[in-house]
Amino acid sequence: MNPLSSSLLDAAADVPVLVGFSGGLDSTVLLHLLAHAPGRAPGSLRAVHVHHGLQATADDWDAHCRRICAQWNIPLQVVHLEVPRDGGEGLEAAARKARHAAFERLMAPGEWLALGHHQDDQAETFLLRALRGSSVDGLAAMRERRGFGKGQLWRPLLHAPRSALERHARQHGLRWIEDPSNASDRFDRNFLRLQVLPLLAQRWPHAAAALARSAALAAEAEGLLAAQDRHELQTCQREDGSLSLARLRDLSAAQRARVLRAWVVQQNLPPLPGNGVRAIEQQLLSARADAQASFAWQNVQIIRWREQLHLRRPATPWPAGWQRQWDGAAPLSLPDGGTLHLHGTQGFATPLTVRTRQGGERIRLPGRTHSHALKQLLQESTLPPWQRPYLPLLCTGDEVLAAGDCLISDTLQHWLEVNQATLRWQPAGGSN
């Protein structure tokens, strides 16, 4: 069977497609196949070329891609990117990250992003991840199709060897660009491509296909495990999004590791690093019940509090001495990204002062004859400790009328009831 048969392209025959077009062999063959697919509707195909500016000939690549797309009557958008060189992840990874972010911004709702990765790329990815000690999730390597941005990321050539792409290109007289950086084996992927895979092929001619097949089997296993992970996560997760330590302890160590990773993915946060699960097992699960042990990575924290694990990003600190006058007529934006709302009324007759805690405040709650220290009341409350520094105080003069919507004074509670109004504090991050 021809690995580049038109059946490979049938999956997206009825959807708009955006092709990532570098001008290299892989994307040129992909764009040619899609441009000449008999079932593709006119106007449903477009291309994007990312100009990184990393090569001296980048402008020539730009011009080449424009000529090809004009010849095949395909709309082309060229995006210029500045790739950060000091992110600590390496230039190749930084360029890939910036490129994918650009693709995501450009995609229209329901559109599929088509990339030219092929079987040899899949074999390289599998080997790279195996050498990094990846789990079955990582060994699944690249997927033929998955959700991405406003639509889908699609790799229709993933089962075709590079040799088949070369034959197609020569048969149809296609011209493509050779990236000079591909000839250097200083990058890990290039080293595998130039040194390791050719050596393996001398002994095992179908090594690339076998490695890609292993990636596909890993993907099948990962799919089954992911379904179990979602079920276990549902049993451990509370309404506020935290995880119950009691439920987590009922799982095996391997199940806990997968649930923790699935939890982080669910919140669209950076993946939990390899040492994360071990740190959580050793430092959080075994910590004292009254401890606030935590594990942090990439500006994310997992915190143990009251027999639960909470996942959060640290909030933006409030400026020293910050305060505002607020009449309640419109929501008030707070420095950390939270908001205050007053529902059911036009606002306060006299604006209140909203400020941060300074220490020593007291508040008299409904039904109480005397005031209590705000610090003590907060310690007794269900408000997590990491949210307390960002709790907005509503004051008139020196009198504290409310601490967010957690603690409301007798005076303000009476006013709210008379005016059939409700005070709501929405902390940064979505819930309190």
CA distances from 413 to 81, 93, 160, 304 (A): 54, 55, 69, 33
pLDDT of residue 412: 94
Which of the residue ranges 85-99, 196-210, 414-428 would you say has the lowest mean pLDDT?
Answer: 85-99
Which residues are bridge partners to 341 per DSSP? 424
Tokens of 292: 């606030």
Assigned architecture for domain 6-207? 3-Layer(aba) Sandwich (3.40)
Contact 401, 352 (CB under 8 A): yes
pLDDT at position 187: 81
Dig out the tokens for 11 from the structure.
């999956």
Cα–Cα distance, 357 to 375 (Å, whole number):
10
- Work out the widest C-alpha separation in the chain, in whole angstroms: 91
**Model confidence pLDDT, tens digit, residues 235-260:** 999 988 899 999 999 999 999 999 99
Q: Please state, in angstroms and rounded to a whole number, the distance separating the CA atoms of residues 25 and 23.
A: 7
pLDDT exceeding 90 applies to what percent of the chain?
Answer: 58
For CATH 1.20.59.20, the residue range(s) in the chain are 237-312
pLDDT at position 432 is 42
Pairing mode of beta strands 112-114, 151-154: parallel
- Binding-site positions for ATP read 22-27
Tell me the one-letter amino acid at 400.
V
Higher pLDDT, 268 or 25: 25
Tokens of 106: 């450009």
The distance from CA 153 to its chain's CA centroid, rounded to whole angstroms, is: 15
Contact 326, 347 (CB under 8 A): no
Each residue's pLDDT tens digit, 298-337? 889 999 988 899 998 877 888 988 999 999 999 999 998 8
Residue 51 reports pLDDT greater than 90: no
Structure confidence at residue 431 as a pLDDT band (50, 70, 90): very low
Beta bridge partners of 396: 399
Q: Taking 60 as the threshold, does the pLDDT of residue 87 lie above it? A: no
pLDDT tier, 69 (very low <50, low <70, confident <90, very high otherwise): very high
How high is the pLDDT of residue 29?
95
Fold of 237-312: Chorismate Mutase Domain, subunit A (1.20.59)
What mean pLDDT value characterizes the chain?
Answer: 88
Q: Which residues are annotated as a binding site?
A: 22-27
138-178 confidence digits (pLDDT tens): 899 899 999 998 999 999 999 999 999 999 999 999 999 98
pLDDT over 80 (residue 7): no
Task: Please work out, in degrees rounded to the nearest 5, the angle formed at the alpha carbon of residue 361 by the alpha carbons of 359 and 363.
Answer: 155
291 pLDDT more than 80? no
User: Rounded to whole angstroms, how far apart are CA atoms 118 and 155?
Assistant: 8
The three-class DSSP label of residue 392 is coil
Sign of CA dihedral 181, 64, 68, 45: positive
Alpha helices in 172-206 (DSSP H): 188-191, 197-203
| Burial classification of residue 234, based on how many CB atoms lie within 10 Å of its CB (0-12 exposed, 13-18 middle, 19 or more buried) | exposed
Stated pTM of the model: 0.70
Strand pairing category for 308-312 and 243-244: antiparallel
